[in-house]
């Protein structure tokens, strides 16, 4: 267990997989691209408009939460479309 927590190769691989997923979302999901562009505008604005650290954290956190929810929504949509595709194949084979 301790070995797996300190395995730097595992951490690097996990990070590279995460970057590949973000790149794929950027390439394939137009809504994610739009929200990423808005985040690039809103994050500096949040730092500038927030008067205290708590306000800044809340503003930045809400922008990041929108991006996370969009990624989750994309994952659900992809899973659902794959489910439909597999279901149709199964239906055709069962007949």
Which residues form the catalytic set?
70
Would you state the torsion angle of the CA atoms of residues 11, 29, 69, 65, taken in this order, to the nearest 10 degrees? 70
Measured CA to CA in angstroms, residue 55 lies from 35, 37, 58, 59, 65 at distances of 21, 22, 5, 6, 15
DSSP 1: -
Contact, 66 vs 41, CB < 8 A? Answer: no
């Amino acid at each position: 267990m301790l070995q797996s927590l300190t395995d730097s190769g595992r951490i690097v691989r996990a990070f590279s997989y995460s970057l590949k997923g973000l790149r794929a979302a950027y390439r394939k999901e137009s809504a994610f691209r739009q929200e990423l562009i808005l985040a690039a505008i809103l994050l500096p604005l949040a730092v500038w408009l927030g008067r205290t650290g708590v306000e800044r954290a809340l503003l930045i956190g809400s922008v990041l939460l929108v991006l996370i929810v969009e990624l989750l929504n994309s994952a659900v949509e992809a899973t659902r479309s794959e489910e439909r595709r597999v279901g149709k194949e199964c239906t055709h084979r069962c007949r």
